[in-house]
Amino acid sequence: MLRLAGARVLDDRDVSAVRTVFNGDPVACCMVAARVEAAGTDPWRLGGELWGLDGRHSRHGDLSGLCFAGPNLIPLSGNRSALRCFADRAMRRHRMCSSLVGPAEQVMGLWQELEPVWGPAREVRACQPLLAMGASPWITPDPFVRSVRPEELDRYLPAAIAMFTEEVGIDPRVEDGGAGYRARVAELITAGRAFARFEGGEVIYKAEIGALSTKVGQIQGVWVHPDWRGHGVGASGTAAVADRLVRRLGRTASLYVNGYNLPARAAYRRIGFTEVGRYATVLF
């Protein structure tokens, strides 16, 4: 257990080292960077802990490994030894996260350590291309995709629930009747980060900017109404959201997609996204 000596909970003295990790791969680190930029490293405000391993230099210098432990367990950097340290720390307590997600090499390495205790997983998605674009879309953005207004929550929510159920395989209303999920969706709408195209009062396309750091915006929850699939609605709609990120907000637009979803991958290529890395997700 001597390997635990280097694994510790980070604090405000480590912000510079944490930022160095983020700057090394802003797209892969977007989810955690957005949290830290908004809340700092205090676990209560951050909604989780940052775990780090010190590098060769002194404490509060460089980091040889970084992991966020909150609603999701997100290992961002570290070799096999670092991942063992993170696994040991994670296994000191009951599993609280709903998934492991992040760069594929780190996620799958960490899962190899955790699986004997935390397994089996409900699903392992080992290949999720991480895509990014920093210029205007190659196709015309859908002019009817716009920000969802707060008073449209009840019209938007069924589409969000349908997306979540299709993507994750679980109805988000199961545990608490949907109160928690409704609150999260309402928060995204209030922040101006939920987008949709409405036809006849019904959502036919939706997406959200799930994480927004100072450099990158990560698009999530892309969904097209079943009656409108196969007509280019998803591509032009996502182009509209990406265009907003790039031209209006000055960010790199990013998202990750399941490797087996060939139609979506082809649509994202048409928009102008290129693969910049690989993510993986382990669902519980």
Indicate whether 150 and 199 sit together in one domain. yes
Mean pLDDT for all residues in the chain: 94
Distances (CA, A) of 218 to 29, 117, 152, 208: 10, 31, 23, 8
Q: Decide if 283 is inside a domain.
A: no
Residue 266: pLDDT over 80? yes
Indicate whether 155 and 272 sit together in one domain. yes
Specify the number of domains making up the chain: 2
> Residue 159: which CATH number?
3.40.630.30
Distance separating alpha carbons of residues 130 and 51, to the nearest angstrom: 23
- pLDDT given for residue 7 in this prediction: 83
Indicate whether 173 and 214 sit together in one domain. yes
Please name which of 204, 220, 203 lies closest in space to residue 153, comparing C-alpha atoms: 203
Residue 2: pLDDT over 90? no
Tell me the DSSP string of 110-127. HHHHHHHHHPPPSEEEEE
- pLDDT given for residue 93 in this prediction: 85
Q: Decide if 133 is inside a domain.
A: no
Give percent of the chain above pLDDT 70.
96
8 A C-beta contact, residue 29 and residue 35: no
Residue 59: pLDDT over 70? no
Domain termination site, one of 120, 137, 158: 120
8 A C-beta contact, residue 206 and residue 156: yes
Indicate whether 34 and 74 sit together in one domain. yes
Report pLDDT digits (tens) over 114-138. 999 999 999 999 999 999 999 999 9
Residue 255: pLDDT over 70? yes
Report pLDDT digits (tens) over 27-39. 999 999 999 999 9
Q: Is the peptide bond before 120 cis (omega within 30 degrees of 0)?
A: yes
Report pLDDT digits (tens) over 71-119. 999 999 999 999 999 999 999 988 999 999 999 999 999 999 999 999 9
Q: Decide if 135 is inside a domain.
A: no
8 A C-beta contact, residue 206 and residue 223: yes
Indicate whether 160 and 99 sit together in one domain. no
Indicate whether 97 and 157 sit together in one domain. no
Average pLDDT over residues 33-60: 87
Indicate whether 178 and 95 sit together in one domain. no
- pLDDT given for residue 122 in this prediction: 95
Distances (CA, A) of 116 to 91, 112, 121, 236: 11, 8, 10, 44
Q: Which residues pair with 52 in a beta bridge?
A: 8, 66
Indicate whether 30 and 87 sit together in one domain. yes
Indicate whether 114 and 150 sit together in one domain. no
- pLDDT given for residue 27 in this prediction: 98
Residue 4: pLDDT over 80? no
Indicate whether 76 and 166 sit together in one domain. no
Whether the CA torsion 277, 274, 159, 29 is positive or negative: it is positive
Q: Decide if 197 is inside a domain.
A: yes
| Greatest Cα pair distance in the chain | 63
- pLDDT given for residue 265 in this prediction: 97
Indicate whether 84 and 159 sit together in one domain. no
pLDDT confidence band for 181 (50 / 70 / 90):
very high
> Could you list the residue range(s) of the whole structural domain that residue 239 is in?
146-278
Residue 162: pLDDT over 80? yes
